[in-house]
Homo-oligomer: A and B are copies of this chain.
């Protein structure tokens, strides 16, 4: 049996990567492209790399019609902006589709936090309780049975995988987590902007946004609170790299007394021994080695003076794959009982 997949809002970068992953997937097929755009858009014109790889009927977008989508597909990937996603989710679920939402709309369990962070009312708050946060390494069992999966943000995926096991094992303090993060430019979306014009962004490197005010900070805090059993304040400082894809997070933590480097590494090895997509490494990871894979590479060090050591954890991933579209496929595989790694090797 082949899982039939629809993409709703396919004209951004997550839509492109989902399309390419589905084209390669041995157990799933892309069957419907739904877009709000009028006139309809031929995805091959948007992304010339898809020429010859999508047939004529599929390539042209159709309306976001839940009944029509449900007739053609088993699962809908939502690649819409936040706010637009929650406008369409209820009807897609009602039509019988399972939904994997790549926006932020169902990630935060607390509607008040959502409304503060995204500065807009949550129009489907009742459903927050049933949405499952789609980070398989932490929530695999819930994902299997979910109708609605909130696919995690790119930065939060890496941060959660790096920090949760250390906090959970009590090896680091939950009082402060500093996440110094750097991302490739696809993370900023496909819409051109003055500061992302090639001659401005080439050979550039900077922090961006309100320092300590990025929307992914509360999402990281939510997952770490789940691991710690109590609130974990995160200081998140994102930077923009002059590359297309890839995230590296360098994370500074305070060890609990008596912790040594071996125990930190052991916590990673124990947490991820059977995980197909988390790789624990001796050396600090390099975004180059994870790009175009669904892997998140981790490493951890204990350093600094003996009387005030610091834990430095590293996490690298492809923001478009493990940080978005690849993880969405991993979630689909789990939801439909496929091999979790299908199409992601």
Would B51 and A233 count as touching, CB distance under 8 A? no
Would A281 and B312 count as touching, CB distance under 8 A? no
- Knowing A196-B197, A207-B314, A248-B206, say if A305 contacts B49 (CB, 8 Å): no
- Given the complex of chains A and B, what is the CA–CA distance between A292 and B310 in angstroms? 35
**A176 at the B interface (CB under 8 A):** yes
- Knowing A235-B303, A301-B212, say if A202 contacts B198 (CB, 8 Å): yes
**A291 at the B interface (CB under 8 A):** yes
- Given the complex of chains A and B, what is the CA–CA distance between A312 and B180 in angstroms? 11
- Knowing A196-B198, A243-B203, say if A176 contacts B26 (CB, 8 Å): no
Query: Digit string of A171-192 for contact with B (CB within 8 Å is 1, else 0)?
Result: 0000110101010111000111
**A258 at the B interface (CB under 8 A):** no
Measured CB to CB, the closest approach of chain B to A270, in angstroms, equals 16
Q: List, in ascending order, chain B residues with CB within 8 A of A285's CB.
A: 48, 206
Would A252 and B178 count as touching, CB distance under 8 A? yes
What is the interface size of chain A, counting residues whose CB is below 8 A from a CB of the partner?
Answer: 79
- Given the complex of chains A and B, what is the CA–CA distance between A195 and B48 in angstroms? 12
Q: List, in ascending order, chain B residues with CB within 8 A of A301's CB.
A: 211-212
**A337 at the B interface (CB under 8 A):** no
Q: List, in ascending order, chain B residues with CB within 8 A of A287's CB.
A: 203-206
Would B206 and A288 count as touching, CB distance under 8 A? yes
Would A244 and B312 count as touching, CB distance under 8 A? no
**A295 at the B interface (CB under 8 A):** yes
How many copies of the chain does the oligomer comprise?
Answer: 4
**A31 at the B interface (CB under 8 A):** no
Would A244 and B199 count as touching, CB distance under 8 A? yes
- Given the complex of chains A and B, what is the CA–CA distance between A235 and B250 in angstroms? 13
The winner among A175, A194, A200, A291 for most chain B CB atoms within 10 A is A200
- Given the complex of chains A and B, what is the CA–CA distance between A50 and B22 in angstroms? 22
- Knowing A52-B279, A310-B235, say if A304 contacts B212 (CB, 8 Å): yes
Would B52 and A303 count as touching, CB distance under 8 A? no
Q: List, in ascending order, chain B residues with CB within 8 A of A52's CB.
A: 276-277, 279, 295
A: residues with CB less than 8 A from B are 13, 23-24, 26, 47-49, 51-53, 175-176, 178, 180, 182, 184-186, 190-194, 196-208, 211-213, 233, 235, 237, 239, 241-246, 248, 250, 252, 276-277, 279, 281, 283-293, 295, 297, 301, 303-305, 308, 310, 312, 314, 316, 345
Extra inter-chain contacts (6) besides given A203-B291, A204-B243, A235-B304, CB under 8 Å: A52-B276, A186-B199, A205-B286, A205-B287, A206-B284, A211-B303
What are 13 residue pairs bridging A and B, where the CB atoms are less than 8 Å apart in the complex?
A49-B290, A52-B279, A190-B197, A203-B245, A203-B287, A203-B291, A205-B248, A211-B303, A211-B312, A237-B250, A239-B248, A239-B250, A252-B252
- Report the 9 A-B pairs with minimum CB-CB distance, sorted nearest first: A212-B303, A206-B286, A204-B288, A207-B284, A192-B197, A198-B201, A49-B289, A48-B289, A192-B192
